[in-house]
Amino acid sequence: MARRYTSPLTSADVTPKGLYLNRRQIMAGAAGILGAGLIGGGARAQEAQAPNTFEEITTYNNFYEFGTGKNDPARNAHMLTTEPWSIEIDGMVDNPGTYMLADILSEMTIEERIYRLRCVEAWSMVVPWNGFELNDLLDLAGVQDGAQYVAFETALRPDEMPGVSRPIIDWPYREGLRIDEARHPLTLMATGIYGEPIPNQNGAPVRLVVPWKYGFKSIKSIVRITLQEEQPVTAWNSYDPREYGFYSNVNPNVDHPRWSQATERRIGGGLFARRQPTLMFNGYEDEVASLYEGMDLSVQF
Ligand SMILES: Nc1nc2c(c(=O)[nH]1)N[C@H]1C(S)=C(S)[C@@H](COP(=O)(O)O)O[C@H]1N2
Ligand SMILES: [Mo]
């Protein structure tokens, strides 16, 4: 199995809510940093890295199933029933079926991961997630040879999601990763923020977090995971493939057709704060660049 990722950020970077966290996990993270020394990409990503407040993370959201305004998810997502919750795991797996989330969680190790989140709209945050590695869930399902991609689907519940009555994207929200991206130790299934259960507006009860890709790849409130041979059809890519690539790796050198990606606005930085430079792979270059060796990132963006 791939090495585990240790966050270059320490418990000292987390505001008091972080104290709810499992102490052993925090200590393990700190030991990892001392042991490993500075990790290149992670160290660079550490600039201006204090996590955003719980308030910022939970009131400025994109979750179009609950409306397209940044504050709509915070106002509407309470309508989503998150308990009980199950995930259908199907396609090229040894153990297909409907998994209760509670059963999955009993098999998983929950860790804290303080990650940068960079939206394709050129704003960013730093979020202290809690979650487990997608890789561990894939092992539980038993990935078969030949499975080259993982497809994900968000719940589609018109009764609970006022936003889906508008045909903004072709619902349900869908996303996908290549299998090596899905198995990368940075790729997290998040169940919490600041040591608290993840709020509905952030994708309760379980959502994907792929920190080196634009935020829309990090699909929320997941009900289905499919292992397959072909590249999955995904919501934003099929909406407009020129604007939203399948890969959507954060890249300051590849602009969105309608705006520059060279800089970003840090949420909570204040109205007059200077924009900060966008980091290649969102600051995780040392961890993930090898996944894309030999690819022309301006073509396969
Ligand atoms: N199902 C679903 N997942 C989604 C979205 C969405 O609209 N629906 N928005 C995406 C976008 S554009 C971003 S930037 C992140 C935002 O996550 P956050 O609200 O937790 O910051 O969620 C992503 N996941
Ligand atoms: Mo986004």
Residue 274 falls inside a structural domain: yes
Ligand nearest to the CA of 117: 1
Domain range enclosing 240: 11-299
Assess whether the previous peptide bond of 211 is cis (omega < 30° from 0): no
Assess whether the previous peptide bond of 84 is cis (omega < 30° from 0): yes
Residue 6 falls inside a structural domain: no
| Residues recorded for the chain | 301
pLDDT of residue 272: 86
Residue 163 falls inside a structural domain: yes
Ligand 1: residue whose CA is nearest its atom 21: 61
Residue 5 falls inside a structural domain: no
pLDDT of residue 141: 98
Residue 166 falls inside a structural domain: yes
**Overall pTM > 0.85:** yes
Residue 1 falls inside a structural domain: no
Contacts by residues 31-36 (CB-CB < 8 Å, ≥ 24 positions apart): 32/6, 33/6, 33/7, 33/8, 36/6
Ligand 1: residue whose CA is nearest its atom 14: 215
Residue 72 falls inside a structural domain: yes
Atom of ligand 1 nearest to the CA of 119: 14
245's tokens: 């690539």
Ligand 1: residue whose CA is nearest its atom 7: 63
φ/ψ of 164, rounded to 5, equals: -80, -5
Domain count along the chain: 1
Residue 289 falls inside a structural domain: yes
Atom of ligand 1 nearest to the CA of 125: 21
Name residue, tokens 């934003």. Answer: 236
Ligand nearest to the CA of 72: 1
Could you read off the pLDDT of 93-110 as tens digits, one per residue? 999 999 999 999 999 999
Q: Kindly report the CATH number assigned to the domain that includes residue 57.
A: 3.90.420.10
pLDDT class of 273 with cuts at 50, 70, 90: confident
